[in-house]
Amino acid sequence: MRMIFVNLPVRDVARSREFFGALGFAFDEEYSSEDVLCVRVDENIHVMLLEEAPFRGFINGEIADPDTTEVLTCITAETPDEVDGLVTRALAAGGRPWKPTFSEGPMYGGSFQDPDGHVWELMALLPQPEDASAES
């Protein structure tokens, strides 16, 4: 099994713990410390939130300006209601709106920025009607 670890710089791990905890995410304490937080998105997907000093140890160059979108992190949701609920909780916990919620083809999506300005997208894949032409 492969795993993915997305690493993002944050200004305050305690604030990040509060924010992502309010969204219902669990943390892997084995990989967390006072300046690093391991957020468990799924069994094999983790987001490592590192305060700027330890984050610098992993990069060359400078940390991107928070007003510059360096990455869009998108996670799936089971339903449009789950998308809406997570966006609502994110905004109530101190996140900021990003793009408006949309429904297009097989996708229903929403988004927000966390307290450090990182963009999080949420996507529910909607069931599509059977293609009538396939039966012909």
Amino acid at 81: D
> Token pair of 38, please?
């391991």
Q: Give the pLDDT confidence score for residue 1 in this predicted structure.
A: 85
**Which backbone phi and psi does 61 adopt, to 5 degrees?**
85, -155
Rounded mean pLDDT, 52-63: 93
pTM: 0.85
Distance CA 21, CA 35 (A): 16
Distance CA 131, CA 121 (A): 29
Inter-residue contact 112 to 95 (CB < 8 Å): yes
Distance CA 44, CA 83 (A): 21
Distance CA 127, CA 106 (A): 7
Give residue-wise pLDDT tens across range 11-26.
999 999 999 999 999 9
- Per DSSP bridges, beta strands 102-104 and 107-113 are antiparallel
Give residue-wise pLDDT tens across range 89-136.
999 999 999 999 999 989 999 999 999 999 999 999 988 777 545 554
- Concatenating the DSSP letter of every residue in 73-120 gives EEEEESSHHHHHHHHHHHHHTT-EE-SPPEEETTEEEEEEE-TT--EE
DSSP 132: G
